[in-house]
Each structure stands twice: as C-alpha cells, then as structure tokens.
C-alpha cells in the first residue's frame, strides 16, 4: 500500500491510498483499483476486504480471446478427454473468437451473447451447435468468476438457445 498526499501528486492535506497486489505470480505489483480518498471509508473498506479475500477484478483490458486461450490451456486441458478438449478448442477458434474475441472480458454483456447466438442461428448454424457454444461460454465464464476476473457470469443472464427437437 502506498500513501499519497493531495491531488495529482501535489502536496495537500487530503491523504489518499492505492491498493497494490500481484495479478499473477511474477508480475509487477500495480494498482488494483482506483485511488481512494481516505474520507470515502465504505469503498476503501470494501476494496481492502476484496483484496485480502483474493477478489481482484483486474480484467479491464483482457480480451475474451486472451482469456479463452488461457482457460483452455490452464483449466480445460487435462480435466477432460482429449476429444472434448479439441471440440471446445474448435468451437472457440471457429465461432467464438471471430465474433466476440475483441470484446474485453469486463465489458462482455448478456446482450453480446444474445446477439451472438441470434447471428449464429441466422447464419444457418444448427440450434444444437449454438447450445454447445453457450455451454462452452458458460463454463469459461464460470471459471473466470472463480478466478476473480469478473464480478458475475453474464451467460447466466441469457436464455439457453432452444433446440427445435421432434415433438
């Protein structure tokens, strides 16, 4: 934790603090959240509690493409059969990354996912394949939530695509 005085580095009478934490082992410590004036105790206390509890929402600049690559290699590989891993990797590479890879993980919204599913259905992809896409995204975002990269799993706010099965 570093202390500052005043605004913009100028000496003043309003003390401020920044919280520093390592995002991953081996990285340089950097500010985790905005600078807080000590008078704003509720935000300051919550930020300290989150930091101490390991909750660091530092995915502001991480693209979905970067996260999915890390998720596939760190979380999925070795925990599923090789054929399942290849299936997930193909869905990510062929469908998800071209459409949503440029969106930051933090900015990803239910509207992005709903539009993505609709576009895939309109492009002629089968409803079952779109359900597989939803399952992969849901699992990846669930892991991002566990890792503390996002505050919520946005795929839970989207209706699972319906499969037009036989009646």
DSSP result, 71-89: HIIIIITTTS-HHHHHHHH
Q: What is the DSSP letter of 156?
A: G
pLDDT value at position 91? Answer: 98
pTM: predicted TM-score of the whole model, two decimal places? 0.66
Please tell me whether residue 114 adopts helix, strand or coil conformation: helix
Q: Which residue carries 């469908």 as its tokens?
A: 95
| Radius of gyration for the alpha carbons in the chain, expressed in angstroms and rounded | 20
**167 residues of the chain, pLDDT tens digit each:** 444 444 445 544 555 555 544 445 555 555 544 554 555 667 667 666 666 665 555 556 899 999 999 999 999 999 999 999 999 999 999 999 999 999 999 899 999 999 999 999 999 999 999 999 999 999 999 999 999 899 999 999 999 888 765 54
Q: What is the DSSP letter of 157?
A: G
pLDDT value at position 59? Answer: 55
Give me the domains of the chain, ranges plus CATH numbers.
2-52 (no CATH), 64-157 (1.10.150.130)
- Measure the CA–CA gap between 149 and 73, rounded to whole angstroms: 17
Residue 3 Cα to chain centre, angstroms: 30
E strand intervals along the chain? 2-5, 15-18, 20-21, 30-31, 36-37
Q: Show the tokens assigned to 167.
A: 């009646």
């Amino acid at each position: 934790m570093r202390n500052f005085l005043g605004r913009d580095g100028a000496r003043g009478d309003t003390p401020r603090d920044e919280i520093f934490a390592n995002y991953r082992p081996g990285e340089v410590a950097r500010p985790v959240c905005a600078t807080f004036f000590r008078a704003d105790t509720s935000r300051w206390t919550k930020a300290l509690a989150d930091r101490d509890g390991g909750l660091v929402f530092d995915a502001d600049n991480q693209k979905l493409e970067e996260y999915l690559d890390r998720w596939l290699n760190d979380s999925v590989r070795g925990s599923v059969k090789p054929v399942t891993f290849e299936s997930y990797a193909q869905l990510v590479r062929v469908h998800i990354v071209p459409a949503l890879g440029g969106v930051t993980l933090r900015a990803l919204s239910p509207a992005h996912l709903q539009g993505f599913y609709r576009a895939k259905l309109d492009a002629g992809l089968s409803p079952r394949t779109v359900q597989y896409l939803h399952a992969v995204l849901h699992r990846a975002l669930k892991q991002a939530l566990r890792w503390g990269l996002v505050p919520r799993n946005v795929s839970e706010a989207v209706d699972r695509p319906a499969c037009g099965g036989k009646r």
